[in-house]
């Protein structure tokens, strides 16, 4: 392909992505996460609060990170500000396109977005990462695959990282579609989750904060687990 066609193609892609982000910022629709570098005011979750809690616990120096259920990539982009090669994976093509729009318009190279519906097979086949973010996706796994399989998926995931940051929907979030399905956690989800993370291989498990979800009045625990 001639050089000028390549330039035209790159220019048109950039313009399309830029337009997409402008429209997304203007539309009166609520997004789950803020848009990185052009924060939309109207979002379900603030995310900066969780990032402030996570940052001091991140492993120092270069490394790799997988953000599972990355959504609009807020945490993947934040991690990429460090010496980290950051990968975000999500099943939803709308989120993926938006993440790639931000990556392109902000000219960030060491970040990658993957489209994938994570299930047991995906986790078995994927490579290892130094650090994994798994925020508010586990209860989707329980809903989609059942409690036993979701826990098995966490076991496989634990074998593929040294550090995990973990948050999940909880059984005390009354009125939600997932509360009943998480009843296996009993009436003390805080202890159940900590114990579970230890069982699957993380020696040091710490609650690093509790955060509002914007969905119910119950805050979710955010954990850091290290081997």
Taking CB under 6 A as the rule, does residue 87 contact ligand SAM? no
Taking CB under 6 A as the rule, does residue 208 contact ligand SAM? no
Tell me, by CB under 6 A, how many residues bind ligand SAM.
Answer: 17
CA angle 225, 226, 227 (to 5 degrees): 130
Length of the chain as a residue count: 227
3-state secondary structure of 161: coil
Which residues are bridge partners to 164 per DSSP? 132, 225
Among 118, 150, 161, 185, binds ligand SAM (CB under 6 A): 118
The DSSP string of 125-167 is HS---SEEEEES-HHHHHHHH-HHHHHHHHHHHHTT-SEEEEE
Least distance in angstroms from the C-beta of 170 to ligand SAM = 13
Taking CB under 6 A as the rule, does residue 143 contact ligand SAM? no
Taking CB under 6 A as the rule, does residue 135 contact ligand SAM? yes
218 secondary structure, DSSP code = P
* Residues numbered 167-186 forming contacts with ligand SAM, rule: CB under 6 A: none
Residues binding ligand SAM (CB under 6 A): 32-33, 45, 47, 69, 71, 90-92, 95, 116-118, 135-137, 140
């Amino acid at each position: 392909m001639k050089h000028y066609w390549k330039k035209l193609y790159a220019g048109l892609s950039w313009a399309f992505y830029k337009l997409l982000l402008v429209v997304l910022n203007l539309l009166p629709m609520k997004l789950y996460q803020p848009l990185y570098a052009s924060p939309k005011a109207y979002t379900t979750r603030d995310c900066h609060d969780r990032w402030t809690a996570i940052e001091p616990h991140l492993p120092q120096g270069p490394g790799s990170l997988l953000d599972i259920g990355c959504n609009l990539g807020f945490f993947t982009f934040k991690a990429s500000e460090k010496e980290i090669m950051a990968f975000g994976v999500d099943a939803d093509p709308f989120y993926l396109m938006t993440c790639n729009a931000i990556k392109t318009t902000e000219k960030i190279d060491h970040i990658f977005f993957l489209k994938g519906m994570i299930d047991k097979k995906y986790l078995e086949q994927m490579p290892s990462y130094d650090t994994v973010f798994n925020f508010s996706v586990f209860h989707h796994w329980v809903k989609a695959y059942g409690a036993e399989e979701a826990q098995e998926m966490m076991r496989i995931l634990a074998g593929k990282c040294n550090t995990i940051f973990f948050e999940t929907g909880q059984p005390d979030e009354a009125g939600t579609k997932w509360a009943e399905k998480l009843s296996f956690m009993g009436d003390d989800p805080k202890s159940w989750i900590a114990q579970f993370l230890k069982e699957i291989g993380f020696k040091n498990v710490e609650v690093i904060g509790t955060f509002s979800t914007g969905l119910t009045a119950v805050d979710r625990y955010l954990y850091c687990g290290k081997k």
